[in-house]
Structure 1
Amino acid sequence: MKQQILKIHPADNVLVALADLAAGEEINYDGVTVHTVDAIPAKHKLALEPIPAGGIITMYGVLVGKAQSDIPIGGLLSTSNVKHAANSTYLTSDQQVSWNQPNVSTWQNRTFNGYHRTDGSVGTANYWLVVPMVFCENRNIEVMQEALLKPLGYGRKKTYETKAQQLIDRIRSGAAVEEVLYTEVNANDAAGNSGKVFPNVDGIKFLSHTGGCGGIRQDAITLCGLLAGYITHPNVAGATVLSLGCQNAQVSILQQEIAKRSPGFSKPLYILDQQTIGRESDMIEQAIRQTLAGLMQANQVTRTPAPLNKLTIGLECGGSDGFSGISANPAIGYTSDLLVALGGSVILAEFPELCGVEQNLVDRCTDKANAERFAHLIHNYSQRAEEVGSGFDMNPSPGNIKDGLITDAIKSAGAAKKGGTSPVVDVLDYPEKVTKPGLNLLCTPGNDVESTTAEVGSGANVVLFTTGLGTPTGNPIAPVVKISSNSRLYQKMNDIIDINTGTIIEGEESIEQAGSRILDYVIQVASGETEVSAVRHGQDDFIPWKRGVSL
């Protein structure tokens, strides 16, 4: 019989429903008989013991809330009887970190086929970038995109355009409303990238954005740092940069940020200044010529074997549910531990979603400086949110709450599982670059796209993205592997989900087995052998964070 409930940590005083439970149902757990007082939807929590008003609620072994009213044994935890609460953080005088590494003998001699760069990094893809320094250049970016993509064989399949055209033709022929609404249409347009002019280049990516001018100077410097992170990224062969000339985000700042991240930078880089060149048509023609010349150079690089320690994995969750913290997140946490043991790097971000587990991460920092920096960054972030009338406690979305994540601490305790158990080797502020192998903490919002954009800008050449509700988020230059926390989502949205970890909930495999399976999949993706759904759909989400309050 399938297990109906789960106690995550021995210290917890709540249980997680793994299946819908009816009111009055008898549940036996570890010698304790519980009769459900309410109907408990799957993914939600019920009290394992009576919890009085003001009493603490413990889950994942940490404080995640306080009861607003008496909650009887077997009672449903909800936003009406529970409020957010989290433990305070303190620093120790000495950081003593120990870690039981997983057995990595299976992967010790494994490699992936990647693109080797002169700075020693290895890409999992090979892209050319076209980057505007300021939003004023977005139109020119669009003109270049229209001019280059289709002729070079990077045009996307026109599935929906073809379907729409068929329906329009039927309307012109006098079709009734019911026919337009309900009759089938087929799209067999095979237009795609099979005829690429540059077979070793995965594509040209155009990073349009709304920044570069206005705002504060810190915004301009931060944007230049992020763009430099993409230009120097191992998945990028080179870039064409369009500048208006008068914006706050000056080319000189971009060049300084590039040098900071890659002192011996040697990739092809073409910079065009519209106010210097003059006519728009002259600028775009030069940009097209230089981009084509850059693509010719990029095409000379081919995939060759690389050790797994050249992988840097970003860890992300979005559209989380009550199962995320017990299936998908701990599964990629084990993947993270495996990669760290192999000498690779991982990035745990989304600081608003670490609320309540700060002490665990502080204790895992390998030195006091990193512990202090993490505590300082997350405290300041929380304070800024409170100053504008928000706070980390307002982080759970309506979808999160509906599916069992009723406080930020519950959400955060599950989200932090993505980071596994390895020591924290570095703490980075956005948009700093990862330079150390091991687990890195990166200050970003919880917003899916802002955080994923930041992780890739800091060096992630693959992103593992867990979801319980479904989200199509991708990235222009790094493959984003979508992992479902439950089998129902995987079956329902299998066009955007790559891996299912609902098998953990169903008792078909352990967290360690799922995490190992995910690492094998990452190696295939990194080698270009498997195309993830986000890449197949052209999901090129790119949103720079302006360092304002974003949860």
Structure 2
Amino acid sequence: MSVQYAQIDPKDNIIVAIQPLAKDTFVKVAGQSLLLKENIKQKHKFALHDFKVGDEIFMYGVLIGKAVLPISSGCAITIENVKHASSEYQENKEKYSWIAPDISNFKDRTFNGYHRKDGKVGTANYWLVIPLTFCENRNIDVLEGALSEKLGYETKKDFAVDTDALINQYKAGATAEELFNIPIITTKEEMSKNRVFPNVDGIKFLKHDGGCGGIRQDSETLCRLLAGYISNPNVAGATIFSLGCQNAQIEMLQNAIKDIAPNCDKPVHYLEQQQSKSERALIEEAVKHTFIGLTEANKITRQPAPLSKLVLGLECGGSDGFSGISANPALGYASDLLVALGGSPVLSEFPELNGVEQDIINRCVTEQDAKKFYNIMRAYSAAAVAVGSGFENNPSPGNIKDGLITDAMKSAGAAKKGGTSPVVEVLDYTEQVTKPGLNLLCTPGNDVESTTGLVGSGCNVVVFTTGLGTPTGNPVAPVLKMSSNTNLYERMNDIIDINAGTVITGEDTIQTMGEKILDHVISIASGETPSKAVLHGHNDFIPWKRGVSL
């Protein structure tokens, strides 16, 4: 018989329903026996004992809320009877020790990647086309229309229509019957087989709505983000469009590249429309630069690389009441494995570390990073409050519906993606990953903004856990999506890569699932297994404007 309910941590005074539980069900848990006084929905929680108003509620061993109404044992924990609360934290760190997991199954493993001159290794090989301001987005569209389909790369459709074949046969005198029998549909798979540049995975067009009109700091941050994408090991080179008068100037981007990647010698071609003879001349020059750049990018091939060259983004979105029990801790174990192998996992989404700050501070290797994390979290929280919000407003309607009723509850489960290893460096948005080991990166909790930031700081692959399902991807780094429950995996198998619901059903442990995740990451990093996000062309790219975004 499968498990029906569970206490996640010995300190917890609420219990999670693994299966739907009916009123009047008799349960035995944590050395206590009690009768459920109401129906408890799957993924939701019930009280282990009676709570008075003001009593503290614990889950995952941390404070996640306080009772605002009396709650009897066996009653559901809801947004009506519990409100967000989290533990206080200080910048001083306590001593922390870590026991690395057994890596014997991976110690001699490699992945086949694209080796760059600066020593980094890519899991893909892309050429970028980037506007410095939204005014150039239309020209980006023109370039995409001129290149992508003709070169055999993905389109926004699952197939292409070869109208040229009809035109050519019509001009050659074909009859109506002959025209009707001409095959003109080419599938995306067929197009990929006919790529002009087989060693280039694609051309990515990073349209955005920034670069001008906002505060200057947003343009500076945008340029640092774009510099991070250009220097990402998954990128071979770039074509840059500038209007000329915008805040995000070409020189600003060039300086950002020199600052964050001084050894970057990738070809980057800059085109300024206000200095061009005409729009036609601008497009012609851009097409030629990009095409010639692709001929050079096509010369590099995949070669074996140690797993220490993996920079793994740890992301979650559309979380549910099982995310912190199955998918996130399993990803955390994979993160610990990668740390032990010399790799660099990166944990982001700072609003979703609310309530576990002291644990993160204690895990920081240096006092400097502990203080940096403390200061960033305090400043971020204050900025949220200043605009009439706060971290407590972070859970979405979908989170709440599926059992995550406070931000601290959501955060305690989300933080498990980072495993248990020490934090080697704390990075602010757009700062680059340079140290092996677990890195922290300040990003919003917004799924796409956070994933965009992870890749901009150097991640060459991302694992994205979800309990509700999301089609999120990234233009540059393959995104592997993992479900927290089997029902989601079966319903949305077209966009979900791996199922951690087997942890809930007992078919896997956190450890065995963690090893399966790392196996899948290696396969994706080697180009052997395309992620579902790559197959569907999910190229989400949203730069973070440093105004508050939760």
In structure 1, the residue matched to 2:357 is 358
In structure 1, the residue matched to 2:414 is 415
In structure 1, the residue matched to 2:368 is 369
2-structure distance, mates of 1:157, 1:544: 22
3-state DSSP class of the match of 2:49? coil
Q: How does 1:89-128 map to 2 (within 5 A)?
A: 89-92=89-92, 96-128=95-127
2-structure distance, mates of 1:386, 1:348: 24
The answer to whether the 8 A contact 1:44-1:403 is kept is yes
The answer to whether the 8 A contact 1:96-1:366 is kept is no
1-structure distance, mates of 2:186, 2:156: 10
CA shift for structure 1 position 346: 0.9
Residue by residue, what CA displacement relative to the aligned partner does 1:308-337 show, whole Å, maximum 9, x if unpaired? 000000000000000000000000000000
CA shift for structure 1 position 187: 11
CA shift for structure 1 position 30: 3.7
Residue by residue, what CA displacement relative to the aligned partner does 1:496-529 show, whole Å, maximum 9, x if unpaired? 0000000010011100000001000100000000
The answer to whether the 8 A contact 1:95-1:366 is kept is no
CA shift for structure 1 position 155: 3.6
1-structure distance, mates of 2:381, 2:156: 44
3-state DSSP class of the match of 1:193? helix
Q: How does 1:204-283 map to 2 (within 5 A)?
A: 204-283=203-282
The answer to whether the 8 A contact 1:95-1:368 is kept is no
The answer to whether the 8 A contact 1:95-1:367 is kept is no
Q: Verify: 1:43 aligned to 2:43, yes or no.
A: yes
In structure 2, the residue matched to 1:468 is 467
1-structure distance, mates of 2:73, 2:63: 18
Q: Verify: 1:86 aligned to 2:75, yes or no.
A: no
In structure 2, the residue matched to 1:71 is 71
In structure 1, the residue matched to 2:25 is 25
Q: How does 1:328-347 map to 2 (within 5 A)?
A: 328-347=327-346
| Structure 1 range deviating more: 139-148 or 21-30 | 21-30
What is the one-letter code of the residue matched to 1:210?
D
Identity of aligned residues (%): 61
CA shift for structure 1 position 190: 6.0
3-state DSSP class of the match of 2:105? coil
In structure 2, the residue matched to 1:496 is 495
CA shift for structure 1 position 214: 1.3
What is the one-letter code of the residue matched to 2:126?
Y
Q: How does 1:287-366 map to 2 (within 5 A)?
A: 287-366=286-365
2-structure distance, mates of 1:161, 1:201: 20
What is the one-letter code of the residue matched to 1:86?
S
Q: Give the alignment's TM-score, normalised by structure 1.
A: 0.94
CA shift for structure 1 position 95: 5.2
Residue by residue, what CA displacement relative to the aligned partner does 1:214-248 show, whole Å, maximum 9, x if unpaired? 11111011000000000000000000011111111
What is the one-letter code of the residue matched to 1:69?
L
Q: Give the alignment's TM-score, normalised by structure 2.
A: 0.94
| Structure 1 range deviating more: 330-339 or 189-198 | 189-198
The answer to whether the 8 A contact 1:157-1:190 is kept is no
3-state DSSP class of the match of 1:272? strand
Structure 2 stretches of 5 or more lacking a match?
162-184
The answer to whether the 8 A contact 2:316-2:465 is kept is yes
3-state DSSP class of the match of 2:520? helix
CA shift for structure 1 position 32: 1.4
CA distance 1:55–1:306, change in 2 (3 Å): same
The answer to whether the 8 A contact 1:123-1:234 is kept is yes
3-state DSSP class of the match of 1:258? helix
The answer to whether the 8 A contact 1:312-1:460 is kept is yes
What is the one-letter code of the residue matched to 1:32?
Q
3-state DSSP class of the match of 2:192? coil
1-structure distance, mates of 2:325, 2:380: 27
CA shift for structure 1 position 548: 1.1
2-structure distance, mates of 1:189, 1:199: 14
| Structure 1 range deviating more: 97-106 or 466-475 | 97-106
3-state DSSP class of the match of 1:143? helix
2-structure distance, mates of 1:158, 1:398: 31
CA shift for structure 1 position 189: 7.8
CA shift for structure 1 position 96: 2.9
Q: Verify: 1:378 aligned to 2:377, yes or no.
A: yes
- C-alpha RMSD of the superposition: 1.4
Structure 1 stretches of 5 or more lacking a match?
163-185
In structure 2, the residue matched to 1:526 is 525
3-state DSSP class of the match of 1:192? helix
Residue by residue, what CA displacement relative to the aligned partner does 1:243-277 show, whole Å, maximum 9, x if unpaired? 11111111111111111122122111111111112
| Structure 1 range deviating more: 24-33 or 217-226 | 24-33
3-state DSSP class of the match of 1:225? helix
CA distance 1:157–1:446, change in 2 (3 Å): closer
Between the two proteins, the alignment pairs up a number of residues equal to 527
The answer to whether the 8 A contact 2:154-2:537 is kept is no
